Amino acid sequence: MIDILQINPGLWVILAGIICAFLPVSPIRKALVLLAPIFAAVMIFQIYGAQEVIGGVINFAGMDYTTLRIDRLSMIWGYLFCLAGVLNAIYGLHEKCKITDSSALIYMGAALAGVFSGDLLTLFIFWELAAISSVFLVWKGGEHSYASGIRYLAIHVLSGVLLLAGAIVYGRANGGDFTFGNIGLGAPGGWLLLIAMGIKCGFPFLHNWIQDAYPKASITGTVILSAFTTKLALYALARGFAGEDILIYIGAVMTCFPVFFAVIENDLRRVLSYSLNNQLGFMVCGIGIGTPLAMNGVAAHVVADVIFKGLLFMSMGAVMLRTGTTKASELGGLFRSMPYTTLFCLIGAGSIAAFPLLSAFVTKSMILTAALEEHLWVPLAMLLFASAGVMEHSGIKVPYFTFFSHDSGRRVKEAPWNMLTAMGLASLLCIVFALPGVSFGYKLLYSLLPYEVDYHPYTPDHVIFQLQLLFAAITAFCILKKYGLYPSEKRAEIIDFDWTYRKLGLGIAKWIGAMWTRLSVNITGLRKTFIDNAGKRLYQIFSPAGAMSEAAPSGLAAVLTAGMLVIALLIMFITSV
Amino acid sequence: MAKSPENLSEAELEERTNAHPMSVPFLWLGRESTIKNFMWLPIAGMIICTALGLIYPPHHLAPWDFFGSWTVIGFVAYSLVVFSAGPLFKLLARNEDYYGEGGLPDPEYSTEGDHHD
């Protein structure tokens, strides 16, 4: 008899996704999309007590696969994915699409199963399943998203292949033990695993799939995508590479560079994709610091980030649904038509900017404090700079150009009730997880963290200095805007590092293709000429009408035969010596 | 802040008619005078918080910490980001269909159907 408490909760969600693919009735499908993450959360609660749980060991092809491992680190990711699944399900209730419902569930289930994987081979299976199932959400964006989807798939499959290669090298060096624990860069296969995780996590120069695919996915698809892939990679990094110094600097760079792209980007869903990259940087940096405070900060900020970033993508999705665009140059003044969406977007913007009483204030500050305590001055300076940058792109630019700024004259309907409900719940969580002094406020969030928490976010100096930074940034915006120094939003394609493979690489490949074609044509011509000439010559010599068939004097024939005999004898003599 | 209906101009009446009922009490947010005077709010907040920094100094000091340092960091960092936009745009901006894939969705390219229902 199968013990259901030995089954990875993610597998139930995957099963629900497979069933969804064959369910023609939309309401039943929607009920399944909503209930599957709730059921998975209940299963996590049933399985996990206070101690680490390891189970679901399967022997296949002579190897043991640990399909279930829940501890304090994976638990918080597990609950978070279930919460995100519920919010996404509510947000997508209006969309009657079998492919979206099915792939959303399989994708979420794969991510959930991935964080509960006890070994690297099981992780690889769900890593790839998450990639393959999620590409359909990109393709649901329409014809223009096809190429992006292909690139997304190629990059993620590459990440999976590197993960598998790293796992094999690591496992063989450990006598066939593939247990997914702390790996470190010194371990065999460590670098391969880090790069595999870095691709999914959006490391600098490996990040472009985020800004390429997310803005082109469907409205619901973008919201779903923002919650799982990068967070699964963050979990893997936290599990395998906590305390690796290189991650501090990678993370710090990740927080800064997207700020410069976001300020010139016109499409606000792409701005949010850069913002996602920027927030991932804070967490990667925290993983690199690796102290209990930093790791708690990472886990807490993952929760906050999934909620506020999901909320911001939701609000832009609602705008997209009603206006057909999220280009800043085409929007403005929508607070007149979409007051609730405006309010929810402002809460999301305030949360990501880390205003007191909103979520990032109690989460991001843990990572900054950890950097301060470790005297990591350069990374800390970069994180502070990035905090002001966050205020620019997500705190001000997204809500201002959408809902305020100049009036675009668009008078549209408010978002559908289900979208408003999902945004309302996400907004509520942004506030609740930051409430001071109550057991269900930030203390509830802190109680779920992997280590004991001894951190108090609401100290007078923290509140005052954070407000100094934020008010100064808003003042700078107002002054620059007043004196016409703030750049206007213009329609354009902003090229990033993906130019190297989308233009340069493609150009080189096309050039090689063209050269190869020309070379083939020339070689074919040369070969044809050579064969033709040789054939003609042979014909002229050996054909019935050829030179060899012509009557020759018998004396000459005798001389030729004698000459050939001499040559044959010489060869035989030389070879026999 | 909201005016009574009899004191409204024709344009204001039209704006009120077209707006969402929940937005009507907040239409003053879009007025020129509000936008013009909004800046005093963050300036006041900045000054107050900077002054409070004297009473509540930071527990952990970074090497660059001085009176009002976070205000300076916020202002300078934000301005730096914005001032970088001009040269960066010149360097990195291309035509919207540069990659030949139809660009990002907008009313011309969107596949989501009629969004003005």
Answer whether B39 touches A (CB < 8 Å).
Answer: yes
Q: Which of B23, B60, B73 sits opposite A388 (nearest CB)?
A: B73
Please report the pLDDT score of residue A411 as a whole number.
Answer: 87
Q: In angstroms, what separates the C-alpha of B36 from chain A's closest C-alpha?
A: 8
A533 and A442 share one domain: no
- Which contiguous run of DSSP H or E holds residue A53? strand A53-60
A516 and A470 share one domain: no
A110-135 burial: b if 16+ Cβ within 10 Å, else e: bbbbbbbbbbbbbbbbbbbbbbbbbb
A510 and A473 share one domain: no
Mutate to test the interface with A, among B24, B97, B106, B109 (most CBs of A within 10 A): B106
Residue A292 lies in a domain: yes
A221-277 pLDDT, tens per residue? 999 999 999 999 999 999 999 999 999 999 999 999 999 999 999 999 999 999 999
Residue B108 to residue B67: CA distance in whole angstroms:
52
Beta carbons of A487 and B85 less than 8 Å apart: yes
A48: burial class by Cβ within 10 Å (0-12, 13-18, 19+)?
buried
Please report the pLDDT score of residue A23 as a whole number.
Answer: 93
**What is the pLDDT of chain A when averaged over all its residues?**
93
User: CA angle B57-B63-B66, nearest 5°?
Assistant: 40
Residue B3 has pLDDT above 80, yes or no: no
Report DSSP letters for B45-104, one per residue: HHHHHHHHHHHS--SS--TT--TTHHHHHHHHHHHHHHHHHHHHHHHHEE-TTTTSS--S
Q: Which of A141, A337, A469 sits opposite B74 (nearest CB)?
A: A469
Calculate Rg over the CA atoms of chain A. Answer: 31
A433 and A467 share one domain: yes
Please report the pLDDT score of residue A553 as a whole number.
Answer: 64
Q: How many CB pairs under 8 A join A and B?
A: 237
Q: Which of A215, A407, A461 sits opposite B104 (nearest CB)?
A: A215
Mutate to test the interface with B, among A316, A471, A503 (most CBs of B within 10 A): A471
A514 and A468 share one domain: no
* Residue from A274, A303, A134 nearest A207 by CA: A274
Q: In angstroms, what separates the C-alpha of A2 from chain B's closest C-alpha?
A: 45
Please report the pLDDT score of residue A551 as a whole number.
Answer: 67
Token pair in block for residue B84: 């970088």
Contacts of B78 in chain A (CB under 8 A): 388-389, 391-392, 472-473, 476-477
Beta carbons of B74 and A372 less than 8 Å apart: no
Which of A490, A510, A536 represents a domain boundary (last residue)?
A490
Residue A114 lies in a domain: no
Residue A196 has pLDDT above 60, yes or no: yes
Token pair in block for residue B54: 């004297």
Token pair in block for residue A38: 């709730």
Residues of the domain holding A434: 242-490
Please report the pLDDT score of residue B63 as a whole number.
Answer: 87
**Which of the two residues, A516 and B7, has the higher pLDDT score?**
A516
A461 and A569 share one domain: no
Which of A490, A516, A539 represents a domain boundary (last residue)?
A490
Contacts of A335 in chain B (CB under 8 A): 23, 26, 29-30
**Mean pLDDT, range A146-170, rounded to an integer:** 96
Residue B115 has pLDDT above 50, yes or no: no
- Which contiguous run of DSSP H or E holds residue A493? strand A493-494
A414 and A540 share one domain: no
Contacts of B14 in chain A (CB under 8 A): none
Mutate to test the interface with B, among A211, A355, A464 (most CBs of B within 10 A): A464
Q: Write down the residue that tokens 């399909």 correspond to.
A: A67
Q: Where does the pLDDT of residue B106 fall: very low under 50, low under 70, confident under 90, or very high at 90 and above?
A: low
Beta carbons of A473 and B98 less than 8 Å apart: no
Contacts of A211 in chain B (CB under 8 A): none
**Mean pLDDT, range A30-44, rounded to an integer:** 97
* Residue from A417, A424, A341, A311 nearest A93 by CA: A417
Beta carbons of A143 and B102 less than 8 Å apart: yes
Contacts of B13 in chain A (CB under 8 A): none
Contacts of A219 in chain B (CB under 8 A): 112
A333 and A364 share one domain: yes
Which of A490, A521, A542 represents a domain boundary (last residue)?
A490
Instruction: Report B:9-38 residues touching A (Cβ under 8 A).
Output: 15, 18-20, 22-23, 26-27, 29-30, 36, 38
Lowest pLDDT segment from A45-49, A259-263, A300-304, B6-10: B6-10
A300-358 pLDDT, tens per residue? 999 999 999 999 999 999 999 999 899 999 999 999 999 999 999 999 999 999 999 99
Residue A388 lies in a domain: yes
Answer whether B49 touches A (CB < 8 Å).
Answer: yes
Please report the pLDDT score of residue A409 as a whole number.
Answer: 83
Q: Where does the pLDDT of residue B117 fall: very low under 50, low under 70, confident under 90, or very high at 90 and above?
A: very low
Ramachandran angles phi, psi of A54, nearest 5°:
-125, 130
Beta carbons of B104 and A373 less than 8 Å apart: no
A443 and A521 share one domain: no
Residue A60 lies in a domain: no
A522-576 pLDDT, tens per residue? 999 999 999 999 988 888 887 777 777 776 666 777 788 888 899 999 998 888 7
Please report the pLDDT score of residue B116 as a whole number.
Answer: 36
Please report the pLDDT score of residue B103 as a whole number.
Answer: 64
| A-chain residue closest to B44, CA distance | A471
Q: Which of B22, B94, B97 sits opposite A339 (nearest CB)?
A: B22
A463-506 pLDDT, tens per residue? 999 999 999 999 999 999 999 999 888 889 999 999 999 989 98
Residue B99 to residue B81: CA distance in whole angstroms:
27
Beta carbons of A493 and B97 less than 8 Å apart: yes
A366 and A450 share one domain: yes
Residue B2 has pLDDT above 60, yes or no: no
* Dihedral sign of CA atoms B89, B90, B96, B101 in order: negative
Residue A311 lies in a domain: yes
A353 and A275 share one domain: yes
Lowest pLDDT segment from A137-141, A364-368, B56-60: B56-60
| B-chain residue closest to A479, CA distance | B39
Beta carbons of B82 and A480 less than 8 Å apart: yes
Beta carbons of A259 and B81 less than 8 Å apart: yes
Q: Which of B19, B60, B62 sits opposite A336 (nearest CB)?
A: B19
Residue B5 to residue B13: CA distance in whole angstroms:
7
Please report the pLDDT score of residue B112 as a whole number.
Answer: 42
Residue A534 to residue A538: CA distance in whole angstroms:
6
User: CA angle A164-A170-A174, nearest 5°?
Assistant: 140
**Mean pLDDT, range A79-96, rounded to an integer:** 96
Residue A152 lies in a domain: no
Any residues with CB less than 8 A from the CB of A464 and at least 6 apart, and which?
Answer: B49, B52, B53, B56
Residue A69 lies in a domain: no
Residue A440 to residue A391: CA distance in whole angstroms:
27
Contacts of B107 in chain A (CB under 8 A): 323-325, 330
In percent, how much of chain A has pLDDT > 90?
83
Residue A378 lies in a domain: yes
Q: In angstroms, what separates the C-alpha of B6 from chain A's closest C-alpha?
A: 21
Q: Which of B57, B68, B77 sits opposite A385 (nearest CB)?
A: B77
Contacts of B117 in chain A (CB under 8 A): 413
Cβ A32 vs Cβ A16: under 8 Å: yes
Beta carbons of A464 and B30 less than 8 Å apart: no
Residue A363 to residue A349: CA distance in whole angstroms:
15
Q: Which of B50, B64, B78 sits opposite A392 (nearest CB)?
A: B78
Count up the domains in chain A and report the number: 2
Beta carbons of B110 and A339 less than 8 Å apart: no
Mutate to test the interface with B, among A218, A219, A465, A479 (most CBs of B within 10 A): A465
A475 and A544 share one domain: no
| B-chain residue closest to A470, CA distance | B74
Q: What torsion, rounded to 10 degrees, do the Cα atoms A494, A389, A357, A443 define?
A: 90
